[in-house]
């Protein structure tokens, strides 16, 4: 019999986020298969895109993942606690004075400017140990990475590179989610040219979407993130297996008359006698306020046993009201679970309704939801 997360939920829980670690592992295996001649790392930023870094890393370790990328040092520490032997990189900056912390935890900084490289080289000389680090090159995104002028200066200063162990040369694609965008090819040519200016070594260029651009973009290591967690990585590509399912419980069901309004601002007036279910979830839980309904503008729909229940009125901080008039009798009752994300609505579909991207929606899901992990990796 299949495991039912609802039956395992705490009786006090008002929302439930189910995370399928078997799907996460399957997605990693699929992405690794697309880049079979390269190592496949995993990006574990923002608490593994909201799914739980510790649990995600333990699942990916079982799938054979050996290299991880975090945004911050604090995130990298969580990865290190779960993966003692893994290679871990921090993407978002190395600051003077932080060298001892990186060395103590065997965490590698990604150096994105000449001053960062100089500081890391100085730290390694003081320590008498050429510790590894990655070097990021700016190939056209204008966000992080050495520009051409600094690459030329670095190429002319071999003593800097001799002071530490450059373990990876990397860059980041700006438009990989649009396979036909001309910047993809422009960045690739820049990356190849810049690499030729520096000592030979392993290289990394492709994010989730970049993996699907083809082998020319793979180099030695690919770095999937969003696609691992079930998000749609690129135009024309179906998402991989869905990893998250979000549900909320009905707090109250009541009848309201036609002509009365629902929620703050009286922005939604009922056009018919309506049965209303109030859910204990809201924008504090990552269900953005723009997803609500008002006169002349429908909102999102949740699902109860496959039956759509459209939003009524505004999404408030902790509550959402739904129209369950057309839901079969007996399904919508106090304590019943209603699906917000899952089999009927993907993270990308709900994000599109909110006028944003799946990345933002996934990483905005609140910790107020009880988390239940499924799959053979769940502990």
- Picking from 126, 130, 361, 340, the residue whose alpha carbon sits closest to that of residue 232 is 361
Interval 227-248 mean pLDDT: 90
Domain annotation covers residue 6 = no
The dihedral formed by the CA atoms of 353, 354, 360 and 366, expressed in degrees to the nearest 10: -110
- 274-298 tens-digit pLDDT: 999 999 999 999 999 999 999 989 9
More confident site: 2 or 332 = 332
36: annotated active-site residue: no
Domain that holds residue 130: 21-229
The CATH number of the domain holding residue 340 is 2.40.37.10
Catalytic residue from among 7, 28, 36, 45: 45
* 72, 97: one domain: yes
Do 294 and 223 lie in one domain? The reply is no
Domain count, the chain: 2
Residue 264 annotated among the catalytic residues of the structure: yes
Check pLDDT > 60 for residue 185. yes
Mean pLDDT, rounded, for 144-167: 95
Q: pLDDT band for position 1 (50/70/90)?
A: low
For residues 281 and 320, the answer to whether their CB atoms sit within 8 Å is yes
- Where among 229, 262, 294 does a domain terminate? 229
Mean pLDDT over 362-376 rounds to: 90
Beta strand 87-90 with 108-111: parallel, antiparallel or unpaired? parallel
**Would residue 15 count as lying in a domain?**
no
207 and 351 housed in the same domain: no
Does pLDDT of 253 surpass 50? yes
The CATH number covering residue 144 comes to: 3.20.20.10
Residue 303 in any domain: the answer is yes
| Same domain as 314, residue 225 | no
pLDDT tens digit string along 259-278? 999 999 999 999 999 999 99
Catalytic residue, from 7, 238, 264, 283: name it. 264
Please give the share of the chain, as a percent, with pLDDT higher than 90. Answer: 93
376 pLDDT above the threshold of 90? no
364 and 256, same domain (yes or no): yes
378, pLDDT greater than 90? no
């Amino acid at each position: 019999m299949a495991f039912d997360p609802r039956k395992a939920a705490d009786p006090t829980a008002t929302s439930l986020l189910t995370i399928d670690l078997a799907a996460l592992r399957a997605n990693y295996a699929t992405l690794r298969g697309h880049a079979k001649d390269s190592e496949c790392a995993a990006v574990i930023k923002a608490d593994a895109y909201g799914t739980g870094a510790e649990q995600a890393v333990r699942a990916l370790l079982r799938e054979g993942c050996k290299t991880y990328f975090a945004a911050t040092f604090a995130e990298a520490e969580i990865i290190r606690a779960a993966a003692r032997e893994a290679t871990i990189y921090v993407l978002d900056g190395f600051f003077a004075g932080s060298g001892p912390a990186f060395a103590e935890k065997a965490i590698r900084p990604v150096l994105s400017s000449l001053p960062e490289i100089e500081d890391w080289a100085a730290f390694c000389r003081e320590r008498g140990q050429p510790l590894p680090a990655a070097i990021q090159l700016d190939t056209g995104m204008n966000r992080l990475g050495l520009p051409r002028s600094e690459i030329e200066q670095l190429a002319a200063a071999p003593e800097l590179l001799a002071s530490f162990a450059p373990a990876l040369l990397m860059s980041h694609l700006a438009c990989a989610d649009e396979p036909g965008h001309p910047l993809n090819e422009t960045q690739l040519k820049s990356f190849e040219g810049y690499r030729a200016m520096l000592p030979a070594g392993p290289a990394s260029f492709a994010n989730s979407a970049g993996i699907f651009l083809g082998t020319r973009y793979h180099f030695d290591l690919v770095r999937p993130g969003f696609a691992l967690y079930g998000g749609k990585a690129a135009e024309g590509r179906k998402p991989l297996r869905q990893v998250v399912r979000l549900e909320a419980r009905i707090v109250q069901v009541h009848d309201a008359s036609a002509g009365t309004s629902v929620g703050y601002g009286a922005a939604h007036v009922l056009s018919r006698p309506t049965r209303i279910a109030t859910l204990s979830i809201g924008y504090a839980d990552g269900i953005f306020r723009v997803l609500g309904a008002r006169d002349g503008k429908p909102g999102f729909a949740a699902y109860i046993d496959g039956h759509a229940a459209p939003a009524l009125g505004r999404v408030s901080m902790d509550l959402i009201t739904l129209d369950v008039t057309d839901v079969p009798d007996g399904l919508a009752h106090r304590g019943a679970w209603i699906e917000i994300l899952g089999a009927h609505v993907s993270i990308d579909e709900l994000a599109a309704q909110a006028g944003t991207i799946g990345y933002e929606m996934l990483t905005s899901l609140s910790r107020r939801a009880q988390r239940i992990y499924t799959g053979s990796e769940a502990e």
